[in-house]
Amino acid sequence: MGAIIWQYAAAGALAVVWLLLLVRRLGLPSRRQRTRRDAQSPVWLSIVGWLLIAVLVAATAGGGLLWLLGWPTMPKQAAFSTTEMLDLLKIGLAVVAGFGGVVALAVNYRKQRVTNERFKVAAELLSGEQAGLRIAGVSAMAGLADDWDAQRQMCVDALIDQLRLQEGDQGAEVANKIFRALRERLGTPREAGPWSALNFDFTGVRFVDADFSERTFAGAVIFDGAEFTGDHTSFERTAFHRTTLSCHGTTFTNTEVNFQDAYFRYTAMEFVGCTFDRATFNMRGMEASRRAIDFYRSDFISSSITGRDTTVRLIRVELCTLADSTIDVQSFEPSFKALRFSRNTVVGGEPAGLPTTSNGPQ
């Protein structure tokens, strides 16, 4: 009987402890000053504080329950039965587990508050007026993304948002810093990096000599409405795994778009409503044997699509306008498999290997 009473007392005390910890967890984040003070204090001090609170509450709750039960006495040691000994063992294990839970809760709660504070500081630096502050913000946000698995996507989105805001020489310096942070974490063509599985939405970003070469992407890669300029736009030896490379309304101006030796594994390439103005689309050695490459309602102005030793399943060119531009099908042999060239308008020039009429081979 005594063991059962103690078991109920311990269970009640633990329940009160967890309830108070939960209430404290929900109530503290709104206290800004205390958050900053706790972020600066040692972790062990927080754990000791939580344990002291737990012990105090447990002792108070346990004493109160015993008082309500009339202070029952424990039997002498010789009178303990096997069942009572097992019950006492269970109580001891429950108490140990309860204190372990208190420590885990204190550590996790402390970590969450610290990471939230780090995100706020990094975001403030990224929005700073001086380039030096923004560069420091890039390092802070990238470092936080490395440490914060649960919100890594949010941190990377914050970095990419800054690419849309950078202008002038100082802006270029900040943008280069962001690109270096991305490249360092996107692995190699043979091995994915810690950020490879994330989604990268570069919508509306203006790139000059963009270099995404020799990286691995396993999440969505979006360049809708983006603009690529400069001598080289490189995706050379870049690997894309089970995703989509989306270029809707994208502009490529006076640049070589280099997909040489790029590898697309179950990945679609969509070039919809794009403009290729004096651009060369180089697919030499590219492998995309599982999904199609689509050029739809796009304009080619003095531009070309070429390739050699290329393995592709299908290239679809539909409702496009080719003005003094070429799609050199002959250069794709012998590994080129299929081309669908339909309902296009050809103005000047002659796509190599294709008829000069508006409607090519189906």
Residues 6 or more apart whose CB falls under 8 angstroms from that of 220 comprise: 199, 200, 201, 243, 244, 246
Q: Give the type of residue at 323.
A: A
Rounded CA-CA distance 319/38 in Å is 62
Tell me the C-alpha to C-alpha distance, in Å, between residue 187 and each of 69, 161, 264. 64, 22, 16
Does the pTM surpass 0.75? The reply is no
Q: Which of 133, 142, 146, 144 is CA-nearest to residue 160?
A: 142
**320 φ, ψ (degrees, to nearest 5):** -100, 160
Rounded CA-CA distance 289/311 in Å is 6
Assess contact for 330 and 307: CB atoms under 8 A.
no
The pLDDT tens digits along the chain (362 residues) read: 454 554 545 555 555 555 455 444 444 444 444 444 444 556 556 656 656 766 676 667 666 666 666 666 655 555 556 676 666 666 666 665 665 665 566 556 656 777 789 999 999 999 988 889 999 999 999 999 999 999 999 999 999 999 998 777 778 999 999 999 999 999 999 999 999 999 999 999 999 999 999 999 999 999 999 999 999 999 999 999 999 999 999 999 999 999 999 999 999 999 999 999 999 999 999 998 888 899 999 999 999 998 888 888 888 999 999 999 988 877 776 565 677 888 888 887 666 555 443 344 33
Rounded CA-CA distance 98/81 in Å is 26
- The domain locations on the chain are 2-120, 192-362
**Helix residue ranges per DSSP H, the chain:** 2-27, 32-40, 43-68, 82-126, 131-147, 152-163, 168-184
CB atoms within 10 A of CB 199: 15
Q: Give the type of residue at 60.
A: T
Assess contact for 84 and 36: CB atoms under 8 A.
no
Q: Give the type of residue at 270.
A: E
